[in-house]
Each structure stands twice: as structure tokens, then as C-alpha cells.
């Protein structure tokens, strides 16, 4: 049975959608029409692939997930785990969490709440627990230096060792308390129209959303010198090029597109390259990256994570924190 917070979140999402339609009916219908075309194309491809599959395999599972999502016009519910409490996302905080940023520079959210919970735990462990451990190591050294003789337990020459021991006990208690802190879970509404504009980390150029293909068409491909638009046109004109094994240069993945763009802007600094790549794509109207999470990557289908580029954090509509609607 849904909680009261879930009901409120759903109502708020529908109200927001209705407000968009009332405020800009023509624009909303045009946007919905464009999204429907993209979804219909992808849905037809997936339906065919699922029909070729034996049993309830990954394609059929993905088809079932998309059918379920079709009944939710408010967009996708995603999750963010954090040791911190806030009411809105701040792009300045990017990179201060778990720090890996392995799938691009931006704010990370997850379709699977378990992924977000694990992220919160990892960030908490790294940011807080390691700080406590460092302080415990420093205090332990002070206690050893003030010991009556090596190996003496709590037998000190002066108050210096006694104070260090008292602080050691206090820090140990705080660390143990922090280790059991589950962090904070944020439930977020990510509208479909933004998901449909995201670079897909796992898909090849020709299988990227049409909005992405159009946005990056003038970016040069690093190996050939052709633009991505040239490559797409070449595949359409010469169908034999639509073979990734024989013509890998014609089928860069979203990951390769992003990394090549970052390398061209790196200036000797990989992190700087990611920042610039995200900014470049953001300026072209691409709000972020979507990719299969760790539990889904082997199957090639399933739940996804999303990276929202700086400047698009307003696309993340926080519904509640820890099951409680934001005030």
C-alpha cells in the first residue's frame, strides 16, 4: 500500500504536468508529440527484439518495464542517497560525494532505490568514517608518545596522554554512531521529456535518441575527422556501413562520444575534460547521461542511473526526503 508521502508526491507531479499544459498548451502538445515519436520508434524496435527472444529474457523484461512506465505520465521516479540534508540540488557540490564520477561530470540519481542507498553508504563511509579514523590514528600516536613505557595501556606521564585518551574514546563513540547512520534518501521526479534528450552511455550513435543525434551532428569524430552528422548520413546512404564489426568507426557509443569530447578539451587534466564535455553537451541542449546500473549491465537491459549536467539541476524535482514531503 502506498504511503501518504507517495500519494502526495504523485498528486504534486500530476499538478505540475497539468500546469504545464494549461500555461503553454501548444508547446506542451508539440513536446508530447515529439516524445511520442521517439518512444514509438524505440518501442517498435524493442517489441521486435522481444519477439525473437526465447522465454522471459532481458528484452521482454525491458518491454514489460516500458509498458508499466506508460501508465505514469508524471515521469520517472528516481532516487538520490546522501549523508546531507537539503531542499534543492547544488551543482557546486558535484564531485564532493563519492568522487568517482565514472560516467561523466554531474549530479547522479538512480532508478533503483537500492543503488541510491548504497551510494549514500559509500559517501558516508568515505567522507565521515575515514575522517574519524584519521583522527583516531593521530590521537593514538599522542597516547603512545606519552606512555610510561612502550606498550603501556592508559598509563601516561602527563595530562597530554590522558586528554588524548579521553578524546580518543569520544571520537570512537561518534564514529560508531555514524557507521549505523543510513544517510538520507531523496525521492525525485525526472520528467520523461528530459530523459529522452539524454546521451545514452551504452548505445551506439545510430541508436541514440533523435534529439541527441541532432544536437551533436556538428561535433567532429576524433578518428575520422567526419562530424557525427556525416557518419549518420553515410550509414543511411550506405546500409552496409551499419555493421559495427566491420565498421567500428561508424558506431561510437555514447561513452566514446563523451570521452572523445572530453579528451579534446582535457588540456592535460582528465577531470577538467569531463567538466568541459558536460558543459559542451549541456549547451547543445542535452541535459545529461543515462546508463545501465551495475546490476543491469551484464544483461544489457534493466534499471538505469542518470547523470544530470550542471545547469539542468532544476530538472530534478525533489518529492520527499526519507519518506516525508519537503516543506
Which pLDDT score is estimated for 50? 81
- pLDDT, one tens digit per residue, over 146-167 is 998 876 678 888 999 899 999 9
pLDDT of residue 79: 94
Residue 25 lies in a domain: no
Report the length, in residues, of the chain. Answer: 327
Give DSSP secondary structure letters for 23-55: H-HHHHHHHHHHHHHHHHHHHHHHHHHHHTSSS
- Grid coordinates of 124: 558516508
127 and 274 inside one domain: no
pLDDT at 246 over 90: yes
Q: Are residues 269 and 151 part of one domain?
A: no
Tell whether the model's pLDDT for residue 309 goes beyond 90.
yes
Question: Domain containing 276: what range?
Answer: 72-119+185-325
- Are 85 and 233 part of one and the same domain? yes
134 with 240, same domain?
no
Q: Say how many C-beta atoms besides its own lie within 10 A of residue 297's C-beta.
A: 12
User: pLDDT of 11-46, one tens digit each?
Assistant: 444 444 444 444 555 554 454 445 455 566 777 788
Whose cell is 526465447? That residue is 54
Is 62 a domain residue?
Answer: no
Single pTM value for the model? 0.62
Burial classification of residue 130, based on how many CB atoms lie within 10 Å of its CB (0-12 exposed, 13-18 middle, 19 or more buried): exposed
From 163, 179, 195, the end of a domain falls on: 179
User: Are both 234 and 265 inside the same structural domain?
Assistant: yes
pLDDT given at position 19:
47
Residues 167 and 277 in one domain: no
Measure the CA–CA gap between 44 and 50, rounded to whole angstroms. 10
**Over residues 40-57, mean pLDDT:** 78
Provide the CB-side half-sphere exposure for 256 (13 A, CA): 15
Residues 224 and 167 grouped into a single domain: no
In a domain, 41, yes or no: no
Taking 50 as the threshold, does the pLDDT of residue 3 lie above it? no
Find out whether 308 and 177 touch, Cβ atoms under 8 Å.
Answer: no
Q: Looking at the domain assignment, is residue 6 inside a domain?
A: no
β-sheet with 184-190: strand ranges across? 199-200, 288-292, 304-308, 107-110, 76-82, 184-190, 317-321, 324-325
Residue 205 shares a structural domain with residue 283 = yes
Statement to judge: residues 133 and 219 lie in one domain: no
Determine the average pLDDT of the residues in 133-149.
87
Q: How many domains does the chain have?
A: 2
| Mean local confidence (pLDDT), 187-210 | 94
Quickly count helices (H) and strands (E) in the chain. 11, 8
Is the same domain home to 246 and 113?
Answer: yes
Chain-centre distance for alpha carbon 22: 31
- Are residues 145 and 166 located together in one domain of the fold? yes
Biggest alpha carbon–alpha carbon distance for the chain: 85
Q: Is residue 65 one of the residues assigned to a domain?
A: no
30 vs 211, which has greater pLDDT? 211
- Say whether both 94 and 223 belong to one domain: yes
Amino acid at each position: 500500500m502506498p504511503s501518504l508521502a507517495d500519494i502526495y508526491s504523485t498528486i504534486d507531479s500530476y499538478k505540475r504536468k497539468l500546469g504545464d499544459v494549461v500555461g503553454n498548451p501548444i508547446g506542451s502538445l508539440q513536446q508530447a508529440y515529439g516524445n511520442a515519436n521517439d518512444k514509438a520508434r524505440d518501442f517498435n524496435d524493442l517489441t521486435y527484439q522481444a519477439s525473437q527472444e526465447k522465454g522471459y529474457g532481458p528484452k521482454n523484461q525491458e518491454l514489460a518495464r516500458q509498458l508499466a512506465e506508460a501508465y505514469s505520465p508524471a515521469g520517472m521516479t528516481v532516487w538520490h542517497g546522501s549523508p546531507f540534508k537539503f531542499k534543492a540540488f547544488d551543482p557546486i557540490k558535484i564531485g564532493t560525494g563519492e568522487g568517482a564520477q565514472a560516467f561523466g561530470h554531474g549530479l547522479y540519481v538512480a532508478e533503483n532505490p537500492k543503488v541510491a542507498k548504497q551510494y549514500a553508504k559509500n559517501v558516508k563511509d568515505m567522507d565521515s568514517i575515514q575522517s574519524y579514523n584519521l583522527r583516531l590514528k593521530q590521537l593514538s600516536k599522542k597516547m603512545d608518545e606519552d606512555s610510561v613505557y612502550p606498550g603501556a595501556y592508559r598509563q601516561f606521564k602527563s595530562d597530554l596522554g590522558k586528554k588524548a585518551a579521553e578524546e580518543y574514546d569520544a571520537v570512537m563513540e561518534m564514529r560508531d554512531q555514524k557507521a549505523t547512520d543510513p544517510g538520507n534518501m531523496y525521492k525525485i521526479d525526472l520528467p520523461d521529456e528530459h530523459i529522452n534528450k539524454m546521451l545514452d552511455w551504452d548505445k551506439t550513435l545510430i541508436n541514440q535518441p533523435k534529439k541527441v543525434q541532432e544536437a551533436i551532428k556538428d561535433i567532429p569524430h576524433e578518428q575520422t575527422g567526419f562530424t557525427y552528422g556525416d557518419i549518420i548520413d553515410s550509414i543511411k546512404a550506405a546500409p552496409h556501413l551499419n555493421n559495427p564489426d566491420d565498421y567500428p568507426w561508424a558506431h561510437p557509443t555514447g561513452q566514446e562520444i563523451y570521452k572523445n569530447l572530453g579528451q579534446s578539451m582535457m588540456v592535460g587534466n582528465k577531470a577538467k575534460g569531463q567538466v568541459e564535455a558536460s558543459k559542451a553537451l549541456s549547451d547543445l541542449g542535452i541535459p545529461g547521461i543515462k546508463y545501465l546500473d551495475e546490476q543491469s549491465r551484464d544483461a544489457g537491459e534493466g534499471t538505469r542511473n542518470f547523470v544530470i549536467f550542471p545547469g539542468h539541476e532544476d530538472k530534478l524535482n525533489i518529492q520527499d526526503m526519507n519518506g516525508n514531503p519537503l516543506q
